Amino acid sequence: MENISPFIQIRRDLHQIPELGFQEFQTQTYLLHYLESLPQQRLQIKEWKTGLFVMVAGTNPNKIIGYRTDIDGLPITEQTNLPFQSKHEGKMHACGHDFHMSIALGILTHLVHHPVKDDVLFIFQPAEEGPGGALPMLQSPIMQEWKPDMIMALHIAPEYPVGTIAIKEGLLFANTSELFIDLKGKGGHAAYPHQTKDMVVAASYLVTQLQSIISRNVDPLDSAVITIGKITGGTVQNIIAETSRVEGTIRTLSVEAMQKVKHRIEAVVSGIGASFECETSIDYGSMYHQVYNHEEPTRDFIKFLKNREDVHVFICKEAMTGEDFGYMLKEIPGFMFWLGVDSPYGLHHAMLTPDEKAIDLAIKTVSEYLSIL
């Protein structure tokens, strides 16, 4: 029988029950069941929608330190063939939130048995993948009552080996926005195109024009991306489509670039409407604020890491990844870091297989960091 740590087993349990944003009912039940198995003297637990706030009392507190983990999965059909792969059809922990939760529980368990000076608030946040749980959780009465003075979080990084922690001061993750564009024209028989307004053709022109926005409107020294990941339209091959829908994402390294890109998207879509005599609408869906690591706590954490022999600290570049933890960092000083997990497949891939050795290393590293604050 395989000899694994209890938190690797927790990760495997959670890996089997991925749930989408604000539907994490089974996940919340699992977390509560585990938390109730711990000594309760230092714990306060409060439910928020499908998430949790868990306060671990310090020995002589004068501040609150926050630690956030996300808990939702993705609408992806798993292809890992692991013995503990997802039991929920069409859903998978393909972004490592099962890792994030097991690490958070490991740190929390350590603090219950080995309390540090200050109070530590663990935030189990739903809906990071969408529609976004960080901002409403931040605005909740519980968070306002227990608002941390400093906050931290991690995200697994498949591209780095186990033992590497990647971090930087300032901008770490981009500003992001979903993008949904609907076009409505006039359908009809394929033999009579002159009597119709073809929305497959309109969508094709639209996608091509959207790609020119970045190259001709964003400062080359700045950075932005428009990715169209899905196009739908029509019913069968011999009927001209009356409607089409274009779905994608916008990512920028500055708030100003995001505003400019959206302004140009709106102009292009308006032009498509005029050119093809069709109705248009734009929905930006979920929008995430950039993850910006505050200077002082980030430097302190880097200094701590550089004195460790079991961790290699790497000062990385910013990424176009999106993370709604940025909303918390907008109001609370703190930082996020990448945790190396050495997977040949990347985030959001159906065959993501992070190395579980990173779990106990992360628990040990963060627990010891909290003990010196």
| Positions marked active-site | 70, 129
| Beta pairing, strands 64-70 & 279-283 | unpaired
Query: Which SS3 state, helix, strand or coil, does residue 292 take?
Result: strand
CB 28 within 8 A of CB 48: no
Question: Which of the 8 DSSP states describes residue 48?
Answer: E
d(CA 46, CA 110): 20
Q: Give yes or no for a contact between 119 and 54, defined as CB atoms under 8 angstroms apart.
A: no
How far is residue 232's CA from residue 181's CA, in Å, rounded to a whole number?
Answer: 11
Enter the tokens of residue 207: 């996608």
Determine the residue type at 294.
H
User: In 151-254, where does DSSP find H-type helix?
Assistant: 199-217
How far apart CA 313 and CA 134 sit, in angstroms, is 27
Closest CA to 183 of 268, 239, 240, 243: 243
Residue 52's Cα: distance from chain center in Å?
A: 17
Please confirm whether the linkage preceding 131 is cis (ω < 30° from 0): yes
